[in-house]
Amino acid sequence: MNYSITDLSNLIDHTNLHPDATAQDIQLLCQQANQYHFKMVAINQSQTALCAKLLNTSKVHVGAAISFPLGQTTLASKLFDTQDAIANGADEIDYVVNLTAVKNQQWSLVADEMQKIVFLCRQNNVISKVIFENCYLTTNEIIKLAEIAKEIKPDFIKTSTGFGPSGATIDDVKLMKKTVGNSVAVKAAGGIRNANDFLAMLAAGATRIGTSAGIAIITELTQRLTAQNTTTISITPTKK
């Protein structure tokens, strides 16, 4: 497929999840997202209302991180936080699965959590993303989580929080996409900081990229297009 710079920008979730982010940092994040036509600002839940206010007249979405980055809160807590974020203006939710439940192979608990959070998002016309945090998971655990997601159908499954010991990998994106097929989209996040990595994740099957380096990536891609005297970049899917 051929992508313009605007097309590529619109695949980026512009991210600031740092615990010490100030109101000024968040204001800058929103200004940048609007200027560069990014799809979403990815922020901690407490920043939701501010971002919703700043982006009120923008096409940029407000994405709240729920139970971030460990996922180790109860379902009741996650549901409350999801509803609170939506009430404060979030139109996308990225929540972290209960990794302890995954490791204990409590798949019914994992599925129940996913079902209820995704249903709540659907009720409110909000995009849902399920964060796996693959750096802590085995291949079989990733496949099982993806199979559950294929049945429940959140909008996205996501590789990582960016706060674990490692982030997105090409192999993980391919595995996740192969498992869910066209039923669920895949978001890659964590450690994606340059144009080559960005394009490689798209070629592997991701259709949303979470990164704090979006401006640098889009700047690099713009320079490439200018040097090549063209307006689009062709991305060929890599073999599964």
In terms of Cβ atoms closer than 10 Å to its own Cβ (0-12, 13-18, 19+), residue 177 is buried
Active-site annotation holder among 13, 81, 94, 197: 94
187 catalytic? Reply is yes
Residue 127, helix vs strand vs coil:
strand
What angle, rounded to 10 degrees, do the helices at 214-228 and 23-36 form? 30
**CB neighbourhood size of 108 (10 A):** 10
What is the residue type of 155? D
Active-site annotation holder among 39, 78, 177, 187: 187
Give the separation between CA 79 and CA 44, rounded to whole angstroms: 15
Judge whether 60 and 39 are in contact, CB under 8 Å.
yes
How open is the CA angle 73-160-29, to the nearest 5 degrees?
Answer: 95
Give the separation between CA 195 and CA 88, rounded to whole angstroms: 34
Judge whether 47 and 84 are in contact, CB under 8 Å.
no
Give the separation between CA 205 and CA 227, rounded to whole angstroms: 27
Helix, strand, coil tally for the chain in percent (to 5): 50, 20, 35
Active-site annotation holder among 39, 158, 174, 177: 158
Q: 189, 200, 214, 208: which is closest to 134 by C-alpha? A: 189
7 catalytic? Reply is no
158 catalytic? Reply is yes
Active-site annotation, residues: 94, 158, 187
